[in-house]
C-alpha cells in the first residue's frame, strides 16, 4: 500500500506568540478529496503551510506521501495554490508556464493543461495585468504542471467568478477520479458540500469535526421552515419551534417537528407565502460546531 497522502501527528505551529495549530492529528489517504473548513484564524492556512514544509512545527510530525514535506515537494509530489501565491513580475504567462513545466521530468502536456485550466487566452498576457480570477487560473496551471499526486489548495476559488468556480471544480472532480488527492481550504461551504468526500472542521488550531459532509450536517438536528410574513407577526409559541430568525420579510423557524409546526401555522391561518422547508446546511453545522469549540 502506498503511504498516506498526508499524515499529520500532534502538529503544533506557532507564529511568534500565536498558537496557530494546536496538536492536530490528521491522516488523508490517497485519492481522497478533503475540504478544510473553519472560521478566520482557525489554522487552515498554517496547516497547509506546514504540509508544504514552509513552516517549521513547534511539535509533532508531518509526512507527505511518506516523506518529509520539503522532500515531497522537491520530488514534484505536491501541487499547491496558496492564498497569497506569487507569480514572477514582468513576464508573460506562457513564459512562466514554460519555465515551470520544464522543471519537471514528466510535465502535463501543454495543450491539455491549458485547456483544462482555461488559460489558453492568457498565455500572451503580462502576469502583472491579470485579474484576480485569471491569476488563480494561472496558479492552478502551475500547480498542475508536474502532474502531482497531491494538490494542496488554500482558498483556490476566492477570486473566481461563478463560471470560473464551476470549471475549477469540474477539473478537481476529474483529477480526483484519476486518483489525485485534493485537499482544499475554503469558506465556500456549498463547494465543500458538493465536491469533498470528507470535511475537516478546524477552530482555534484544533480539529473539531472530521467526516463525510452528511455526517457533519447531522450534528444539527431539526429543520427550517421558511416563509414570507408581515412584520410584527410572532411565531415563538408555535409547536416544536426552537428558534425564530427574521431577515427582511422572511421568517425562518427552526423546528424539531416540521409537520406539527406546519399544522399549527395552517390552523392559525398563516398564508405561508413562498414556503420552503429544508434540512440543516453544512454552514449551520459548521457554525454550531465552531460555536461549541469557542
5, 20, 183, 289: which one contacts ligand ATP (CB under 6 A)?
20
Tell the smallest beta-carbon distance from residue 278 to ligand ATP (Å): 26
DSSP H or E segment with residue 123: none
CB 56 within 8 A of CB 21: no
| Structure-block grid coordinates of residue 108 | 502535463
**Nearest residue (CB) to ligand ATP, 43 versus 53:** 43
Between helix 110-117 and helix 93-102 the angle, nearest 10°, is 130
Tell the smallest beta-carbon distance from residue 196 to ligand ATP (Å): 16
Tell the smallest beta-carbon distance from residue 64 to ligand ATP (Å): 18
Q: Taking CB under 6 A as the criterion, which residues in 29-88 touch ligand ATP?
A: 38, 40-46
What is the three-class DSSP state of 233? coil
**Nearest residue (CB) to ligand ATP, 51 versus 238:** 51
1, 16, 102, 111: which one contacts ligand ATP (CB under 6 A)?
16
The span from the CA of 153 to the CA of 182, in Å, is 8
Tell the smallest beta-carbon distance from residue 284 to ligand ATP (Å): 19
Tell the smallest beta-carbon distance from residue 142 to ligand ATP (Å): 21
Tell the smallest beta-carbon distance from residue 15 to ligand ATP (Å): 3
| Structure-block grid coordinates of residue 150 | 497531491
The span from the CA of 189 to the CA of 286, in Å, is 9
The span from the CA of 54 to the CA of 158, in Å, is 22
**Nearest residue (CB) to ligand ATP, 19 versus 264:** 19
**How would you classify the pairing of strands 59-64 and 223-228?**
unpaired
User: Hunting for cell 518529509 — which residue is that?
Assistant: 68
**Nearest residue (CB) to ligand ATP, 184 versus 227:** 184
Could you tell me which residues are beta bridge partners of residue 80?
152
15, 178, 246, 278: which one contacts ligand ATP (CB under 6 A)?
15
Q: Which parts of the chain fold into alpha helices (H)? A: 44-51, 69-74, 93-102, 110-117, 132-144, 162-177, 189-195, 213-217, 258-267, 282-293
**Nearest residue (CB) to ligand ATP, 45 versus 180:** 45
Tell the smallest beta-carbon distance from residue 166 to ligand ATP (Å): 22
- The site for ligand ATP, by CB under 6 A, has a size of 12
**Nearest residue (CB) to ligand ATP, 185 versus 251:** 185
The span from the CA of 211 to the CA of 111, in Å, is 37
**Nearest residue (CB) to ligand ATP, 264 versus 287:** 287
Only segment of 10-18, 127-135, 256-264, 274-282 that touches ligand ATP (CB under 6 A): 10-18
CB 143 within 8 A of CB 96: no
Which residues of this chain interact with ligand ATP, rule CB under 6 A? 15-16, 18, 20, 38, 40-46
Amino acid at each position: 500500500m502506498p503511504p498516506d497522502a498526508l499524515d499529520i501527528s500532534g502538529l503544533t505551529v506557532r507564529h511568534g506568540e500565536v498558537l496557530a495549530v494546536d496538536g492536530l492529528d490528521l491522516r488523508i489517504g490517497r485519492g481522497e478529496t478533503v475540504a478544510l473548513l473553519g472560521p478566520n484564524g482557525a489554522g487552515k492556512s498554517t496547516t497547509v503551510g506546514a504540509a508544504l514544509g514552509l513552516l517549521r512545527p513547534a511539535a509533532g510530525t508531518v509526512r507527505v506521501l511518506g516523506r518529509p514535506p520539503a522532500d515531497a515537494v522537491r520530488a514534484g509530489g505536491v501541487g499547491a495554490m496558496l492564498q497569497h501565491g506569487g507569480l514572477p513580475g514582468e513576464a508573460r504567462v506562457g513564459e512562466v508556464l514554460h519555465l515551470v513545466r520544464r522543471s519537471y521530468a514528466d510535465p502535463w502536456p501543454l495543450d491539455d493543461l491549458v485547456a483544462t485550466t482555461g488559460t489558453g487566452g492568457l498565455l500572451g498576457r503580462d502576469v502583472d495585468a491579470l485579474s484576480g480570477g485569471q491569476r488563480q487560473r494561472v496558479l492552478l496551471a502551475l500547480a498542475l504542471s508536474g502532474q502531482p499526486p497531491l494538490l494542496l489548495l488554500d482558498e483556490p476559488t476566492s477570486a473566481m467568478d461563478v463560471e470560473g468556480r464551476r470549471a475549477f471544480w469540474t477539473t478537481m472532480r476529474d483529477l480526483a477520479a484519476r486518483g489525485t488527492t485534493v485537499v482544499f481550504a475554503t469558506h465556500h461551504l456549498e463547494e465543500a458540500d458538493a465536491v469533498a468526500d470528507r470535511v475537516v472542521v478546524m477552530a482555534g488550531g484544533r480539529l473539531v469535526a472530521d467526516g463525510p459532509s452528511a455526517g457533519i450536517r447531522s450534528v444539527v438536528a431539526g429543520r427550517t421552515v421558511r416563509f414570507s410574513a408581515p412584520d410584527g407577526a410572532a411565531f415563538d409559541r408555535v409547536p416544536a419551534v426552537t428558534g425564530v430568525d427574521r431577515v427582511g420579510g422572511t421568517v425562518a423557524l427552526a423546528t424539531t417537528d416540521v409537520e406539527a409546526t406546519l399544522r399549527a401555522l395552517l390552523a392559525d391561518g398563516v398564508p405561508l407565502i413562498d414556503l420552503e422547508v429544508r434540512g440543516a446546511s453544512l454552514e449551520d453545522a459548521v457554525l454550531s460546531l465552531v460555536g461549541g469549540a469557542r
